[in-house]
C-alpha cells in the first residue's frame, strides 16, 4: 500500500473554508479505484494547517497523480496556500489500519 501524509499551510483568510475549497478534489479522489482513504484533519496547534492522510493500493497512486482532478488541484490550490505542501509518501506493508497494541478499549 502507498501511505501518504501531506501538510497544507493555508493562507489565514482561506483556512476556515478550506474543506469546501478541497471538496471536489476530495470527492473525486475518494471515488478512484484503489483509493483506501483520503482524510483531512485540521491542526490543533496551527489553525492554518491541514493534514491530509491518504492511502492507495500499490498500483493506484500513479493513476491518481495523472488524473484530471489532480491536475486541476495543482493549478487551483496554490492561490490558497502560504507555502508548498510538505509530504511523506511511502510504500508500506499492510492493507489498512491496525489496532493499536499499547491501548485497548474494552
- Is-contact 54 29, C-beta < 8 A? yes
pLDDT tens figures, 35-81: 999 999 999 999 999 999 999 998 888 888 889 999 999 999 999 99
> Is residue 3 scored above 90 in pLDDT?
yes
Check residue 90 and give its pLDDT: 95
Fold of 2-91: Alpha-Beta Plaits (3.30.70)
Check residue 87 and give its pLDDT: 98
Check residue 59 and give its pLDDT: 80
Q: Which pTM was predicted? A: 0.92
Average per-residue pLDDT in the chain?
A: 95
Amino acid at each position: 500500500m502507498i501511505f501518504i501524509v501531506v501538510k497544507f499551510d493555508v493562507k489565514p483568510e482561506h483556512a476556515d473554508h478550506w474543506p469546501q475549497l478541497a471538496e471536489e478534489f476530495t470527492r473525486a479522489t475518494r471515488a478512484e479505484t484503489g483509493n483506501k482513504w483520503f482524510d483531512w484533519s485540521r491542526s490543533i496547534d496551527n489553525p492554518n494547517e491541514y493534514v491530509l492522510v491518504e492511502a492507495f493500493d500499490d498500483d493506484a497512486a500513479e493513476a491518481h497523480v495523472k488524473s484530471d482532478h489532480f491536475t486541476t488541484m495543482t493549478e487551483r490550490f496554490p492561490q490558497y496556500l502560504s507555502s508548498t505542501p510538505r509530504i511523506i509518501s511511502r510504500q508500506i506493508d499492510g492493507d489498512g489500519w491496525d489496532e493499536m497494541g499499547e491501548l485497548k478499549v474494552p
